[in-house]
Amino acid sequence: MAVLDHKEEARLKGSPICSGIAIGSPLLFYFSEDEIPEFSIPKTEIKNEVLRYRNAIEKSRKEVVQIQKQLELDGAIEGVMIFETHLQIMKDEQITFELEAAICKKMKNAEYVFGLFIRDYERKLSMLTDEMFREKIRDVQDVASRILRNLKKSVKLSLAEVKENAIVFAKDLVPSDAAEAKKTHIGAFVTEVGGKTSHAAIIARSRGIPYVSNINLNQIDLKKGDVVIIDGRNGEVIINPTPATLSAYQALKNQLKSNLEKLSTSGNLLTETLDSYKVRLTANVEVLEELQLVHKYRGDGVGLFRSEYICLDQNRFPSEEEQFEIYKEFAKAANGLPIVIRTFDVGGDKPGDFVKINEANPFLGCRAIRYMLQNPTIFRSQLRAILRSSVYGQVKVMFPMVSGAFELLEAKALLHEEMKKLDLEGIAYDKHIKVGCMIEIPSAAITCDEFAKHCDFLSIGTNDLVQYSLAVDRGNQIMSYLYNPADPSVIRLIKMIVIEANRNGIPVSVCGEIAADPRFTALLLGLGVHELSCTARFIPIVKNTIRKISIISACQLAETILNMHSYKEIQKKLSEEYEKLVPQEVCHIVAN
C-alpha cells in the first residue's frame, strides 16, 4: 500500500463517530513492531513498571526452560548449553539491579530503558579484545529481543497525561483508555476500528471529543510537527492543510462553538413540547464532574450512572467502603435530583484488567448482572454501598443486561437480604429505594410484562438492544451498516416495552445513544417514552428539539414509522422531519 506523501494537503475519509472539529498535532497511541516505544512513567506507577519488567523476565525465562526441555528430548545437548547462557544473562543480578535503578531514575518505560541498557552493554562487549566475550554479544542480542518482545506484549500506553489538544491516533481504544482520557483535554480521536456506540465513542461524546474511525493508519506517515484537522461531522481527516483550508476550518470551528453556546442558554426553559407535554430529560454520567453540566443545563437528574467506570482503570473492584464514599459524593452532588446507579456492567467490551474472564464471545458471555450473580460477594458489597448512599439523595438502583425475569428476582433477593442485614446492623438506608431494570436484550423486551411487574421503572438500553436484536457487535465499524437503531425490529421492540410499562403503571426511559440524537426525539416521545437520558452535553440540543415538537404530531410520526418496512425508509423520514424542525446550523452540530 502506498504511503501518502503529505507534504501537500492530504485528505482521508473515515467513519464519523462523534461530531465536532479539532485542529492540533498528532499523538501516535500505538507503535510499530520494530519500534521501541518511549514514554514517561508517573512516580506512582514506577513500582508497577519495575514489576512489569520482572514479569517479562520471568516469562522469558519460562520460555527458555521450555526450549531447553525440548532440545534435551531431541538430544541436542549443545543447544541446551547455549540456552543455559541465556538463562545466566537473565539471572544476572547486577544487570537486574542496574536496570531497575535506571527505570526509577529516568522515570521512563521499561522497554525504552532496557533498549538503552542493551545498546550500552553491546558497546562495552564489542570493545573487549577477547574473542570469547565478543561472541557473547550474539547471546545478549537474542536474550534482549525475547525480553523486549515479552515486554511489548504487556505495554500499556496511557492517555492520562497527553498534551492538550493532541489528536490521538490509535489502532483501537478500549473503555479504560477513554476513561483515562476523561482527565485530559484531548483534541480528537482517530482509530482504525470502533463503532458509534462503543464505550470509547460514548466517552468521546460525553467530553465533546470529535472522533473518526475506520482510518487505515498504515496509509499515513505522521510527524510530530504536522498539523491535522479532524472533521467529526463527516469523518474527514486532513493532514497538513493549506493555509486556506486551515482558516476555513478555524472559522467553522468557531461558528459551531457559538451555535452550541446559543443552544446552551436554554437552561431555564421547561422541557416540554409545544402543547405542554412534560418530558423528563436526565443525564448519563460516568464521572462526578458531569453533574455540574446536569445542573447547568437544568437536567432532571441522572438517568444512568455507569458505576463500572469507577474501577475500569483500577486493578481491583473497590471495597464497599470506597464505593460508599463515591456513591455518597454522587448522591450529594445530585443535590436532591434523582440518580440511578446501575450496578457494574463489566465484561463485554469493558473487561477491566482485573475481571479475568476468558471467553470466545464476551458480549454473549459473563457480562453485567451475570457476572455479579456469579460473584455474589462483589455484588453484595456494591448493593450495600448503594443502599448506604441512599440516605444522601434520591438514589435508585438498576440492573443491566438482564435476559430473563429470574435474574431480576435473584438480584432483588440479594438486595433484600442486604437490606435486612443493614437493619440488623442499625445502618440507615432508604427503605423504599426504587429498583429498575435495563431492557437491552430482546428476550427481556419480549417478556417485558414479567419485568414490569417486579420493577419501579424500566430503562431501554438501545445500544445493546440494537446489538443483540440485529446480531451486530456494537464496536465493529466494518459491520456498522447493519447496526441501525432505526431498524423496524428495534422500533417495534421499543413500542412493546412502552405498552407493558404503561399497563403496569411504571415509567420507562431510553438511555441508549439514540436519546442524544435529536433525529429520534419526536419518534421516542410519540412511542410513549416518558424520559430521555443522554450525555449531559446533549441536554440543550435534545431540549431544544422537544420544545419544537407537538406531542400530537410526534404520535402521528410514530404511527407512520411503525408501518414502515426498512431502516432506510425510517432513517430518511426521521432526518426529513428533523430538518423541518430546526435551522440548518443546528443540524450541522449533529451532522453524523
Contact segment (CB under 5 A) with Mg ion among 150-158, 165-173, 402-410, 460-468 equals 460-468
Minimum distance between the CB of residue 372 and Mg ion, rounded to whole angstroms? 14
Using CB under 5 A as the binding rule, the residues of this chain from 552 to 591 that contact Mg ion are none
Residue 181 contact, options Mg ion, ligand PEP, none, Cβ 5-8 Å cut-off depending on partner type: none
511 is catalytic: yes
In the bound state with ligand PEP, the residue whose beta carbon lies nearer, of 56 and 541, is 541
Cell numbers of 303, please?
438517568
- 459, burial (CB in 10 Å: exposed 0-12, middle 13-18, buried 19+): buried
442 binds, among ligand PEP, Mg ion, none (CB under 5 to 8 A by kind): none
Q: Grid coordinates representing 394? A: 434520591
Q: Is the distance from CB of 567 to CB of 481 less than 8 angstroms?
A: no
In 3D, which of 284, 173, 197 has the Cα closest to residue 464? 197
Mapped onto helix, strand or coil, the DSSP state of residue 47 is helix
What SS3 string covers 462-519?
HHHHHHHHHCCCCCCHHHCCCCCCCCHHHHHHHHHHHHHHHHCCCCEEECCHHHHCCC
d(CA 556, CA 573): 13
Q: Which C-beta is closer to ligand PEP: that of 300 or that of 513?
A: 513
Closest approach, Cβ 440 to ligand PEP, in A, equals 5
Sheet holding 10-13, edge to edge: 10-13, 236-239, 228-231, 21-24
- The residue annotated as part of the active site, out of 199, 366, 455, 534, is 199
CB of 459 to ligand PEP, least distance (A): 8
Active site annotation includes 199 = yes
Q: Which residue stretch of 143-151, 153-161, 410-418, 438-446 sits at the interface with Mg ion (rule: CB under 5 A)?
A: 438-446
Interacting span for Mg ion (CB under 5 A) from 108-116, 252-260, 453-461, 563-571: 453-461
- What Å distances lie between residue 177 and 169, 171, 182, 214, 549, CA to CA? 12, 12, 9, 18, 38
Query: What residues make contact with ligand PEP under the rule CB under 6 A?
Result: 304, 306, 345, 440, 461-464, 511-512
512 binds, among ligand PEP, Mg ion, none (CB under 5 to 8 A by kind): ligand PEP
Mark the segment that binds Mg ion (CB under 5 A) among 119-127, 178-186, 424-432, 459-467: 459-467
Among 464, 500, 531, 577, binds Mg ion (CB under 5 A): 464
Q: How far apart are CB 501 and ligand PEP at their closest, in Å?
A: 16
- Dist CA 64 CA 251 (whole Å): 60
The helix (H) or strand (E) run that includes residue 412 is helix 405-425
Contact flag: residue 352 with Mg ion (CB under 5 A): no
Q: For ligand PEP, which is the closer residue by CB, 442 or 461? A: 461
For residue 168 the three cell numbers come to 490521538
Kindly list the catalytic residues. 199, 511
Residues forming the site for Mg ion (CB under 5 A): 440, 461, 464
